[in-house]
Structure 1
Amino acid sequence: MSLIFNKKSSWAWCICALLLAGFLTNSLSNYLVSRNNVRKTLAESTLPLTSDNVYSEIQRDLLRPVFIASLMANDTFLRDWAIAGEKDRDAIVRYLHEIKIKYGTVSSFFVSDKTLKYYYAHGLLKTVSEDEPRDEWYFRVREMDEPYEINVDPDMANQDALTIFINYRVRDYAGNFIGATGVGLTVTKVNRLISRYEAKYDRQIYFVDASGNVVLRPSNSTMRGYDSLQEIEGLGERVADLLAGKTDSLTYKRLGDRRIMNCRYVPELDWYLIVEQSEATMMAPLRQELYLSIATALLTTALVAGICIFVVRSQKAKAECQNQELKESTRLIQEQRAAIEKETSELGALNLKLQTLNSEKDDFLGIVAHDLRNPLNSIIGLSELTLSELPDDDSTKEFKESLSHIHRSGEEMLELIDELLNVARIEAYHESFETQLIEWNPLLERTAQRFAEDASRKHIQLKLEIDATGETELKGVEEWMSVIVNNLLSNALKYSPEYSKVTLRTERTEHTVITRIQDSGPGISPDEQSKLFQKFVRLSAKPTGNEHSTGLGLYVVKQMCDRLGINIRVESGLGRGAIFILEQELHS
């Protein structure tokens, strides 16, 4: 032992201590950084995204019943039957029964304002009364200005099952209120949706009302033991802030487990959607990685300590053993190098796995965006067809406004999907690509022609000055170059006010073609110009015609220009508009 612990070998033990301290510090710092990133991702991205998905599914399930109730409220048979004095009760019962069977709703009804009778698919249910608390909904609908409401009530006609009702106001041909009609949708569909998402994402999902009472949760949820948020240990007074909208996420401990909670208000149901995730589940892989790093540090330190001990002892060995000791040291170094190379290989494999996961994310984004295009195109087409077939009178004004909103929202979603596809395509494309010669002037003219209608709608003069370039051919990818000009010209029209001018101008030098797209917008400050080509950036300037902006267009333009070797820059100042300049070398 005296050979191991003495003044001459103290330097070796200092090295081991420093090496072990460095390993442990690096492992712990990596673990803490990763833990903070996981928490931040859960609170700011993962849980809100799950909440958005559940909310979107709920809205989709509610859209069809709203449409059915709207058709019933505008059905001439229903209005004529009520105006004629409700003479044939069997006729309205058959009508409501057919609606229920045809559309698969759990309930269909009509309440006459003249007689206050409540008709449903099996006959006359009752006569509503202002003194009956269960009938408050009807007198609320009678007095409201909106065409319909969505509320959650027990369904008397369905053994008081909790039901989502679409209550639609019915007017006669003079616009007078004559009753309320609609359909019911059981909350079991929402329950199945929650169960599916809980199983898919390994998260707890449930609904609470404005007081924090749990109103809807899966039958196998671990939250069955709690009737309200106030009963959950660790939440305490923070429930009030959560339900008041002062915060949309918080972290607390329940049964020793740290949990992250996200809250979202669902106005259609007047409920709050709660999504929470156990941190332990997400942190398990990180802890395993930490333990592995610590074990590796200890093993490496022990190996170094052994080498140091061997060096100290070798100093006392005889001269004839020096060569053997040198060989032994060389062997140990080779083993250590092999271990390092193995770890390097493992790190490379992990890096490749991360790249694969990132690629799968891009593929998933592309698949989702592609799958959304068909239903969105159907929505846009159906709304256009319905708008064109509706009569142009006051009775369809509100419905046409709703359809116009649906059509406009569909187009905005389609634009966002196209931008997301462009982002996914350009970020995922790392291989070399094949270029071709492209006639530049015809491409610019085609793009300007596509935006002629948009310019005319805002009374903007779209001016082309491209004669100087003649029959210029540039080398590139036609699809990408079309996207570049399309996005820049679209932005110029969006941010230019009415009765202004947008100019697309080209000029040719000895070796380059310069294309300028100039708008008459508010301009871009120097501070914002540095963020101009970043992803999801929205500047202080707003589109002048309430056009939709995704924050991705200029990011896509910049990425494509870099890939194609096109230099892009902007010249602008507040109040002076903006000029986007493209410079590309001529094909020799």
Structure 2
Amino acid sequence: MIPFSRKYRWAWLVCLLLLLGFLTNSISSYLVSKRNVRQTIVETSLPLTSDNVYSEIQRDLLRPVFISSLMANDTFLKDWALQGEVDESAITKYLHEIKIKYSTVSSFFVSDKSRKYYHPQGLLKEIKEDDARDRWYFRVRDMASDYEINVDPDLANRDEMTIFINYRVKDYQGNFIGATGVGLTVNRVNYLISRYEAKYDRQIYFVDTEGKMVLRPSNSPMLNYANLGDVEGLSEEAEALLAGDVANLSYQRDGKTRLLNCRFVPELQWYLIVEQTEEAMLAPYKKELLVNLLIALVTTVVVAWIFIAAIKRYHVRLERRNEELFETNRQIESQKAELEESSASLENANATLSQLNKEKDEFIGIVAHDLRNPLNGILGLCSVTDLEKDDLSEFVQDIERSSESMLSMVETLLDVSRIEGHEVRLVKRDVNPERMIEESCKLHKEQAKRKHIQLSCESDAPDGTLISTDPDWFVICLNNLISNAVKYTPEYGRVVVRTRAESKQICIEIEDTGPGIGPEDQEKLFGKFVRLSAKPTGGESSAGLGLYVVKNMCERLGVGISVRSLLGKGTTFTLMVPREK
């Protein structure tokens, strides 16, 4: 184990300085090498590749230019055109022989007099000034130079992109009588690009003056882009490249740094772009950097070990002398910890007993206070049983209500006792929630009627919707929430039990128009024996246990419960019940 205590700080400081020196030297050497590699690629490698490709293109174009020149000065071609183009088979045979002899993909002659376009298979078409595909001919007719190199789709070769040599044909007095020439497919240039890409591990492609990708190998990743501006990292630089403001630049694509060279090819009116990543050329320097870093780390570890061994030897005697003292101190600390743990346990037990005693006192006080009024009512009503028969029924109803109040309180206390004693056994099954809601609402209709409260049920759940729960305990939760809503809603108010279906659960909302619950009361809403600032509006009693029972039972049933309320605007409790299994 390597020590890191203060007594070794000088050893670590020396090792750290040594390591920093190694790292600084290695990283600076790598950065210099990286800069030199990038400079070599930008200033030498890429321009040289671009020059080689351009030279190959020029070399491949010299021969068809020479062939076109021979055709333009051939006396047969001139005489045939000047004599009225009588024998069409003669010109077809001539063009066919040119194509076969010089291995071109196309040869042609366009007569200025008849505007007919001849090729090795015969008459192709008639040239028209309003046809966009024939504009090249009228451009050649009006140009000052003897020939031009043009890239167009070849109508006679299924519109394959072809490099045409368009040569002006003149009669013996120097008057323009037509245009002739040969065509080469761009496959030759494509093959050249593929060969150079494989040889130099570079990407080579052509774009036109508008930035459109016009030529790239069949296996090139640049096939994913239609325009130079679409290339990742080049969208902001494309305009400067096409304008000739920038010839060399670097950019990021696919997580790699790429160096680019751009040059204009006037014969094709295209831009030749050559790019290369610097990773391949940096690989040896990265390997050297890793080796240097490893040497620095090993050297630092060896020096650190020597320093630490010397320091440890010096401190070994002091450590032996302190061992006995450490052991004695450890025993004292252990005994102290045991005493503190015992003291903490006693304090926790005392706090628990105090809390239980406090809850017992609160419980006795609440029960004595809340049971006293119903009992007094029953006793008072019993003392007037000698009244007339017609008046007796009203008092009997009061006795019944008082008894129901006491029974509800006792049942709530029993529910709390069963929940806290873990005597509840849940038996979940698929049940219809609307039926249970209707039964609960019927149970509280009379209570709502006495206060002129409108109690209603609403549902947008599909017929036959089921939930998975224990119906006996779920009904207890519903009854508590509906009873509370009626209890805290003033006369002529409204209580709505609303059911709506979601994908995985059924939401049951109990909404009232009561006084609402403030933020402070919401924090302690589900506690035991809680007294809120809001009071029942009809003089009803409350033990402060109903919501405590609902909260604990919902947790057992896996039912979510939430509340939203604003003072003066009522309260809404929401039960989120899982749908059937």
TM-score range with shorter-chain normalisation?
0.5 to 0.7
Give the whole-Å Cα distance in 2 for the aligned partners of 1:301 and 1:186. Answer: 64
State the partner residue of 1:365. none
- Could you report, residue by residue, the CA deviation over 1:184-228 in whole angstroms, capped at 9, with x for unpaired residues? 000001111111111111111111111111011111111111101
Match of 1:34 in 2: 33
For 2:47, the equivalent position in structure 1 comes to 48
For residues 3 and 261 of structure 1, the distance between their equivalents in structure 2, rounded to whole angstroms, comes to 52
Distance in 1 (alpha carbons) for counterparts of 2:3 and 2:51: 67
- 1:51 CA drift (Å): 1.1
Superposition pairs of residues 400-411 of structure 1, within 5 angstroms: none
Are the counterparts in 2 of residues 113 and 178 from structure 1 also a CA contact under 8 Å? yes
Q: Where does 1:52-451 land on structure 2 (aligned, <5 Å)?
A: 52-312=51-311
**Paired AA for residue 210 in structure 1:** T
* AA in 2 matched with 1:43: V
Rate the CA distance shift 1:234–1:2 in 2: closer, same or farther, 3 A: closer
Deviation, 1:80, is 1.5
Q: Could you list the per-position Cα deviations for residues 239-291 of structure 1 after superposition, in whole angstroms to 9, with x for gaps in the alignment?
A: 10110000012211123222122111111111111111123333333322222
User: 2 CA distance for matches of 1:105 and 1:2?
Assistant: 78
Give the Cα–Cα distance (whole angstroms) in 2 for the partners of residues 106 and 293 of structure 1.
59
Count matched residues: 317
Output the CA distance in 1 between the equivalents of 2:78 and 2:2.
Answer: 106
SS of the residue aligned with 1:291?
A: helix
Q: Which secondary structure does the structure 1 equivalent of 2:172 belong to? A: coil
Q: Does the 8 Å CA contact 1:252/1:259 hold for their aligned counterparts?
A: yes
Question: Residues of 2 paired with 1:111 and 1:214: CA distance?
Answer: 30
The answer to whether the 8 A contact 1:4-1:309 is kept is: no
Rounded Cα–Cα distance in structure 2 between residues aligned with 1:285 and 1:174:
68
In 2: Cα distance, 1:139 partner to 1:4 partner: 87
CA distance in 2, matches of 1:301, 1:97: 80
Shift of 1:312: 4.4
In 1, the alpha carbon distance for the partners of 2:182 and 2:229 equals 34
Distance (whole Å) between structure 1 residues aligned to residue 4 and residue 161 of structure 2: 78
Q: Which amino acid aligns with 1:285?
A: P
Which amino acid in the other structure matches residue 24 of structure 2? T
2:267 counterpart SS class = coil
What does the per-residue CA deviation read over 1:78-117, in whole Å, with 9 as the maximum and x for residues that have no partner?
1111122212221111111110000000000111111111
User: Is the contact between residue 3 and residue 313 of structure 1 (CA under 8 Å) also seen in structure 2?
Assistant: no
> SS at the partner of 1:286?
helix
Amino acid at match of 2:292: S
Partner of 1:585: none
Give the 3 Å change call, closer, same or farther, for CA 4–198 of structure 1 in structure 2: closer
Alpha-carbon separation, structure 2, partners of 1:124 and 1:2: 92
Asked if 2 retains the 8 angstrom alpha-carbon contact of 1:4 and 1:312, the reply is: no
Alignment partner, residue 21 of structure 1: 20
Contact kept in structure 2, 1:73 and 1:168, CA below 8 Å: yes
Q: Distance in 2 between matches of 1:119 and 1:6?
A: 96
Q: Give the letter for the 1:199 counterpart.
A: A
* Residue identity matched to 1:48: P
- Structure 1 residues 222 and 3, CA gap change in structure 2 (3 angstroms): closer
- Distance in 2 (CA, whole Å) between partners of 1:219 and 1:2 is 59
Structure 1 residue 4: deviation in Å?
A: 8.6
Distance change >3 Å, CA 314–CA 110, structure 1 → 2: same
Q: Within 2, Cα distance between the matches of 1:6 and 1:158? A: 85
Once the two structures are superposed, the pairs formed by residues 539-550 of structure 1 within 5 Å of their partners are: none
Q: Does the C-alpha gap of structure 1 residues 295 and 94 become closer, same or farther in structure 2, counting only changes over 3 Å?
A: same
Distance 1:263 1:140 in 2: 28
C-alpha displacement of 1:54? 1.0
Partners of 1:121 and 1:84 in 2: CA distance? 20
Question: Helix, strand or coil: the match of 1:97?
Answer: helix
SS of 1:282's partner is: helix
Q: Secondary structure at the match of 1:253?
A: strand
The one-letter code matched in structure 1 to 2:38 is R
Report the Cα distance in structure 1 between the residues aligned to 2:191 and 2:107, rounded to whole angstroms: 22
> Cα offset for 1:45?
1.4
CA contact (8 A) 1:3 1:312 kept: no
Shift of 1:62: 0.7
Distance 1:117 1:10 in 2: 96
Letter in 1 for 2:212: N
- The amino acid across from 2:144 in the alignment is D
Distance 2:175 2:53 in 1: 38
Shift of 1:293: 1.4
Where 2:124 maps in the other structure, the secondary structure is strand
What is the rounded CA distance, in whole Å, between the counterparts of 1:71 and 1:2 in structure 2? 87
Counterpart amino acid of 1:244? Answer: A
Shift of 1:10: 5.5
Amino acid at match of 2:44: S
Give, in whole Å, the separation in 1 of the partners of 2:47 and 2:126: 44
Aligned partner of residue 71 in structure 1, secondary structure: helix
Identity of aligned residues (%): 65
Give the AA of the match of 2:129: E
**Distance between the aligned counterparts of 2:3 and 2:94, measured in 1?**
101
> For residues 132 and 199 of structure 1, what CA distance do their matches in structure 2 show?
41
Distance across 2 between alignment mates of 1:257 and 1:293? 24
Normalising to structure 2: TM-score of the pair?
0.52
Report the counterpart of residue 410 of structure 1 in structure 2. none
CA change 1:3–1:174 in 2 (3 A) is: closer
Structure 2 partner of 1:398: none
User: 2:189 is paired with a residue of what secondary structure?
Assistant: helix
| Counterpart for residue 504 of structure 2 | none
Gaps of at least 5 residues in structure 2 are: 318-581
Alignment CA distance shift 1:5-1:126 (3 Å): same
Structure 1: which amino acid aligns with 2:21? G
Q: CA RMSD in A?
A: 2.2
SS state of the match for residue 296, structure 1?
helix
Q: Which amino acid aligns with 1:256?
A: G
Q: Deviations over 1:395-421 (max 9, x none)?
A: xxxxxxxxxxxxxxxxxxxxxxxxxxx
Structure 1 stretch displaced more, 200-209 or 286-295: 286-295
286-295 or 74-83: bigger deviation:
286-295
Q: Could you say what secondary structure the match of 2:272 adopts?
A: strand
Structure 2 counterpart SS, 1:105: coil
Superimposed CA distance per residue, residues 523-554 of structure 1 (whole angstroms, 9 cap, x where no aligned partner)? xxxxxxxxxxxxxxxxxxxxxxxxxxxxxxxx
Q: Structure 1 pair 52/6, CA: closer, same or farther in 2 (3 Å)?
A: same
Structure 1 unaligned runs (5+)? 319-588
- Deviations 1:273-319 (Å, cap 9, x if unpaired)? 1111123333333322222211111011112222333454677999x
Q: SS of the counterpart of 1:193?
A: helix
Q: Report the Cα distance in structure 1 between the residues aligned to 2:146 and 2:3, rounded to whole angstroms.
A: 93
Distance 1:3 1:74, change over 3 A: closer
Q: Secondary structure at the match of 1:170?
A: strand
Aligned partners of 2:3 and 2:204: how far apart in 1? 64
The aligned counterpart of 2:332 is none
Amino acid at match of 1:193: L
The structure 1 segments of at least 4 consecutive aligned residues displaced by more than 4 Å after TM superposition are: 1-7, 9-12, 310-318
